[in-house]
Amino acid sequence: MPLPRLLLSRQRFTTCRQCLYRPSLLPPPTTSISSITPIRTFHASRSHPSPIIPLPAILLGLLKSGKLVSFVSLSSKTSLTLLPHTFRRDKGKLVGKILAGIPIAGLTLLVAVGLDQAPNTSRLRFVYLSEQEEEEEVEKAIKELMDPMSALVAAQDTVAVKWLQTIVNNLAVVAQDDVREPVRCYGNDDPPKPYNVNLICDGNTLNAMCAGRHILVYDLMMQAMDYNETRMAVILSHEMAHSVQRHFVETHGFASLLLMLGDITRGVFWMVTESFGPYVNQKINEAITGFIALESQNTYNRPLEREADLVGLKLMAKAGYDPRVAVDVWTTMAEIEERIKEYQEKEQQDLKQEDQGGKVGDPQTVVSVAQMMESLISMWFGSSHPPSRERIDYMRDHMTEAVALYEEALRLNGPPSNYEWVQDDSAATSGSHTSYFWGLLYYFFPLNTIE
């Protein structure tokens, strides 16, 4: 199929006909789809770790807020700005010591208040948002993301959404326990916290995400997983692990701490470089800001992704999904990642040769391909994610424990509940390897086959 025709006809190969009606957003279903065995056994409630540095609960509740970070940052910048002028006066020694001590005291307070332990792993981290502030930030982010795409969101009563919701409900049941605890029987007295699933049918985005209790899945991800329940559970358990571990809040806390350190660093440099003029200070600010963005978005996020891989692997195992499928999923994702990168490198070389030879390709086709490939690679294969090959090795290291949890879960609770997705001929065709996603990969890489 010619490339322009393939790009223009991609909407014919999306999830199913029901998802293409462009409905408006509907409220989440009020009843749970998953069936739970009516057995009640004794189990310990999920523990809430105490603060690393013991502080009174009332004081900790008042201070653990994003407003504290803003206050400490503002006071530190103000004190360091006034500090050089204070030291130049003979009578300013006491005031100078007070101003110099404000950033140190503020940083100490931030460390004492924000130090926290992550659930399921007990890893040390910094958290500065309260649960209420987290909910407000998540709702704001979801609204900003969903509003422009409201016409592309599938209705909650479509079979695709119900199928996804069933998988999520199965995972939510076990997500209420620490993954390090042994598998137990779940009964009607253990209602999970609800997760709301939204399916976005845009036909060209390979991604899935979870923020708070909101899970967003793009139809291209379902196609990449061949509409297989266990393969989709690999993706959903990974995204739900981000929510369980509160990685959104943790990333915010780490960035806030880095910004605080950046403000102190700017203030220290300001005392020395004030006389050099605005150009030097602007370059210093740009260097510090770039370092903070690199550390918070890339370097720090990769350990969080590995943690989500581990927690998600155990979540799906305790829910009754075979964790060994995760290796197959990430092997497929690694092949996709490598082939897309190979194509990008080849495109760049071809464009350079055309420029040198005085030939210029069709601008519209070049732009369409560039945008499409950027959409594919920037979402799921972003620089903040570890390489898929690295993820495969990491999961294999923990596979023995995950398989033991899976076998015990089947023995105690049986297989997870499933939603029977009856597809017509057109829907079944869209879920096969003739879909837009796989057809696109076959077009670019005809010599190899992705299984």
Burial class (CB in 10 A: 0-12, 13-18, 19+), 440: buried
Of the chain, the percentage scoring pLDDT greater than 70 comes to 68
Residue 197 pLDDT > 80: yes
Could you tell me what percent of the chain has a pLDDT over 90? 28
- Plot region of 224 (φ>0 → left; ψ -120 to 50 → alpha; else → beta): alpha
Q: Which residue has the higher pLDDT, 416 or 100?
A: 416
CA 106 to CA 128: how far, in whole Å?
Answer: 14
Which tens digit of pLDDT belongs to each residue from 311-338? 999 999 999 999 999 999 988 888 877 7
Identify the H or E element spanning 65.
none
CA 38 to chain centre: 34
**CA-CA distance, 170 to 321, in Å (whole number)?**
10
Average pLDDT over the chain, rounded to an integer: 75
Confidence of residue 367 (pLDDT cuts 50, 70, 90): very low
- Answer for the pair 309, 121: CB distance below 8 angstroms, yes or no: no
* pLDDT (mean) for 200-229: 90
Band (pLDDT 50/70/90 cuts) for residue 296 is low
In the predicted model, what is the mean pLDDT of residues 351-370? Answer: 56
Question: Which two structure tokens, joined as six digits, stand for 449?
Answer: 């086959």
Q: What is the phi/psi pair of residue 419, to 5°? A: -105, 120
Q: Average the pLDDT over 362-381 and give the result.
A: 47
Cα 262 from chain centroid? 25
pTM of the prediction? 0.75
Average pLDDT of span 268-292: 75
pLDDT tens digit sequence for 45-84: 455 555 566 555 555 556 777 788 888 888 888 888 787 7
Q: Which long-range contacts (C-beta less than 8 Å, at least 24 apart) are formed by 370-379?
A: 372/7, 372/204, 372/440, 373/340, 373/343, 373/344, 373/347, 375/204, 375/205, 375/206, 376/204, 376/205, 376/206, 376/340, 377/337, 377/340, 377/341, 377/344, 379/205, 379/206, 379/207
Q: Which of 59-63, 166-170, 264-268 has the lowest mean pLDDT?
A: 59-63
Helix axes 247-273, 301-318, angle to 10 degrees: 170
- Does 145 have pLDDT greater than 50? yes
* CA 63 centroid distance within chain: 27
Q: Residue 416 pLDDT more than 50?
A: yes
Residue 199 Cα distances to 164, 224, 315, 326, 373, angstroms: 9, 14, 22, 22, 21
pLDDT recorded at residue 55:
58
Per-residue confidence (pLDDT) for residue 437, from 0 to 100: 60
Q: Which residues pair with 129 in a beta bridge?
A: none
pLDDT the model gives residue 21: 47
Side-chain half-sphere CA neighbours of 276 within 13 A:
11
Q: Which residues contact 260 (CB under 8 A, 6 or more apart)?
A: 69, 72, 73, 76, 106, 107, 110
Cβ atoms within 10 A of the Cβ of 210, count?
25
Cβ neighbours around 31 below 10 Å, total? 4
Question: For tokens 């899935």, what's the residue?
Answer: 208
pLDDT at residue 72 in the model = 86
